[in-house]
Copies of this chain bind each other. A is one copy, B any other.
Amino acid sequence: SRSINLAVIPGDGIGQEVVAEGLKVLSAVLPQDVKLETKDFDFGARRYQATGETLTDADLDALKKHDAILLGAIGDPSVPSGVLERGFLLKLRFAFDHHVNLRPSKLLPGVDTPLKGEPAIDFVVVREGTEGPYTGNGGTIRKGTEHEVATEVSVNTAFGVERVVRDAFARAQARPRKKLTLVHKNNVLTFAGHLWTNIFNKVAEEFPEVTTDYIHVDAATIYLVTDPARFDVIVTDNLFGDIITDLAAAVSGGIGVAASGNINPSGEFPSMFEPVHGSAPDIAGQGKADPTATVLSVALLLRHLGFEAEAARIDEAVTADLAERTGKPARSTSEIGDALAVRVAG
């Protein structure tokens, strides 16, 4: 019989609230014969404040035993910027080799966009997750003096670029439009740019059905607001992916509905699924957070584990729920979760 052994990291701020709803919907959508086991991990600001620890080797060993990880949000103003980001979020992505950071953007009916003309937005960004300027390479000399020099080194390897580019081509191939856009800045960052461009062009030969193009990251931000319908699948570097997926979320309904997966395609380590929004401490504990992004992240998780039918049911439930929101009074976090749980069960 099938089973899912899930590590759950509610985390900080609204993380707790949205993860509860994500689990509610997960339980509701799974068939009786699938055994769901969850284990909570209390990572984040509280743990750091109490122990000084962010993510230990023992933590990684414990997480490793699971089929997947569901994360709410990590981050609190009481912790200096960078401590939890580098010490927890990025440490986990690197330790579990989450090299495919998957971020779909779809403007669903009834959802508000800041853009005029209700564009047909339906694309997915495949963001590299283990290289680029995110490696922590670099350093500081003469810190705090007028002669301080700080460097950040973007590291790009043929191995790392090829595997994510190949993953993106496969995803493009599987979609109706079969189009893949490489986003980089190869006219300025020429070392990394040539590597990305050459590998992209090489792998393209293996996917003759996929239409390809290339756009500089600065120009990509223009297209994302003037012609987002042009995109189908985008593959890009870790930092560019970070930037354009926030913009992509903003134009396709906001971070309240933006889901993401930090994926290890080989399955050697568990993949992690999380809403793109952060911990939003300003609205935490008030039942105001929209759990939709977390619920959609649960759908990505199910799809990754092979539960395609269940993932599709969640997507449909969210689409239906969003379509009926216009003109209705705002619901609480758990009311939205309840409504989605009813829909996926029905």
A residues within 8 Å of B by Cβ? 81-82, 85-86, 90, 114-116, 133-134, 136-140, 142, 144-159, 162, 185-195, 197-198, 217-219, 221-222, 224-226, 239, 242-247, 249-251, 254-255
Contact = CB atoms under 8 A, between A and B. Distances in A.
Contacts of A255: 222
Copies in the complex: 2
Contact of A250 (B86, B139, B153, B222): B222
Given A146-B158, A150-B194, A188 B246 contact: no
A225 B247 contact: yes
Contact of A158 (B148, B152, B154, B247): B148
A320 B303 CA distance: 55
Given A115-B115, A225-B247, A243-B221, A147 B158 contact: yes
A218 B243 contact: yes
Contacts of A159: 146-147
Nearest to A195: B150
Contact of A138 (B90, B192, B224, B239): B192
A236 to B, nearest CB: 12
A247 B250 CA distance: 13
A305 B67 CA distance: 65
Contact of A188 (B82, B153, B186, B197): B82
A77 B246 CA distance: 31
B154 A154 contact: yes
A137 B247 CA distance: 29
Contact of A194 (B140, B186, B244): B140
